[in-house]
A and B are shown apart, each in its own frame.
Chain A
């Protein structure tokens, strides 16, 4: 029973990170109908930047903020310099561009920082809480992870629901042509959208880095998990992404704990395939038709 509780707690913590990656993917998908395969590479790159900052002697928090800011900038640059060029082209072009960017970022990171994974400090202690004499698999750092992801998601929600910028962004995502006729600078909104999504991605990067280490390919599984979580939640829905992330975190934690860690990636792929076959609109899809 304690094992089950441990695995559940652990699943919640990793699940919130998957939720953050899923959220980054959903924000892009909603506004551009592009699956950003480069997201894993982008968050890898910004985590490397944070790592370099921290290794140069700055505090963890400086590295943390630098990661988020560089995510913001990287996201905006990617949209301006690459994605804008494939807008309106067949979807395959965007797929190839994002995959190409992934490979490019991994190569450049390897050239700058080397291919040997390096450690990354956690924000807080990773010694599990002591509950009634037993140490549970949930530490102050996990509390931080859960709270900061919830906090950022809530901020984003408030931005989208409660501000004029958010209204413009949603209008641009749902009906770009109508938005333009109403005077919304849709191109600018897309840039902001990519910047925000990449910020959420880089948050996930620094949060997960202590457990996966930082290396050019260390974050590839995170992208798969984030994508699976996003599909679980329905790709179009930020709430779905959040819930999908936690469900996936729990499922993979149980698989890892009861069946062995080597099966985790396979399990994620099985879940992904199962959802795509049985409920391609996501677990929470209603019968409402999907906009394509």
Chain B
């Protein structure tokens, strides 16, 4: 099956006045931020701050109460979840979303099915992440945590997105592996002009590679600044970032 004919958008991802409720609980409250192509914005904050909900709202998994999310010229909110990737947004969910019952290769192929991606596109991912090639025929459930994270990022890349939403990619990974993932994210933003929204608990390593940092608390943006500025802000670190 080929793509639906509509063009994936490129351009700036703009989140404007976004609010998301779970019943009476406002999980995302009036969030405004933007990410340009080739840039990484880290979204930081404590457990329950609303980071995951922010990403899930952007990819239409939960409905927004108010606000807008635009990619280039196009409004994303109100799309069917299946169409979000067709509009150029790839979401790597919390817990990585690797499908353990499928092989590594099947997981990767799945990422490109919607646009009828040719097999060579997988080779590109294997070149970027050689560890996956060796495990291509193994069930994804047999991969290590780091390999799974690479697989889920690789799978997102097969979709050729212009925006990458990453939900805690370093969760549960050894520091060395986590650092490699962060490097990879930086490289992808630079080399492919991806706009990356990177949700992280690990503020220090996220800010080390990010261009900008946004801190959420109880769903609200409490800081939005250059990453280096944020990393140097003693009060911020004390209050929200924990390093």
Q: Select one of A170, A185, A186 contacting B102, CB under 8 A.
A: A170
- Other-chain contact of A184, B102, B113, B115, B155 (Cβ < 8 Å): B113
Is A108 located at the chain interface by the 8 A CB criterion? no
B73-115 contact mask (Cβ, 8 Å, vs A): 1 or 0 = 0000000011111100011010001011110001001110111
B223: Cβ under 8 A from any A Cβ: no
Q: Could you tell me if B155 and A182 are in contact, using CB atoms closer than 8 angstroms?
A: yes
A165-205 to B contact mask, C-beta < 8 Å, 1/0: 00110110011011111111110000000000000000000
B217 within 8 A of A: no
A187 to B84, CA, bound (A): 16
Min distance, Cβ A58 to any Cβ of chain B, angstroms: 36
Is A1 among interface residues, defined by CB-CB distance under 8 A?
Answer: no
Residues of chain B contacted by A167 (CB below 8 angstroms): 102, 106, 109-110, 113
Q: Which of A124-142 contact B (CB under 8 A)?
A: none
Q: How far is the CA of A178 from the CA of B61 in the complex (A)?
A: 10
- Number of residues of chain B lying within 8 A (CB) of chain A: 26
| A177 with B61, Cβ < 8 A, contacts A164-B1, A167-B109, A183-B85 known | yes
Contact B102 A171 (CB under 8 A): yes
**Residue picked from B61, B91, B102, B113, most chain A C-beta under 10 Å:** B113
Is B102 a contact of A181 with CB atoms below 8 Å?
A: no
A interface size (C-beta, 8 A): 17
Choice from A168, A175, A181 contacting B81 with Cβ under 8 Å: A181
| B105: min CB distance to chain A, Å | 10
Q: Are A182 and B84 in contact (CB under 8 A)?
A: no
* Contact (A182, B101) CB under 8 Å given A167-B106, A168-B113, A177-B61: no
**A174 and B86 within 8 A (CB):** no
* Contact of B102 with A177 in the complex, beta carbons under 8 Å: no
Q: Tell me which residues across on chain A come within 8 A of B199, comparing CB atoms.
A: none
Query: In the docked arrangement, what's the CA distance between A184 and B82, Å?
Result: 6
Closest 3 CB pairs of A and B: A183-B114, A178-B97, A183-B85
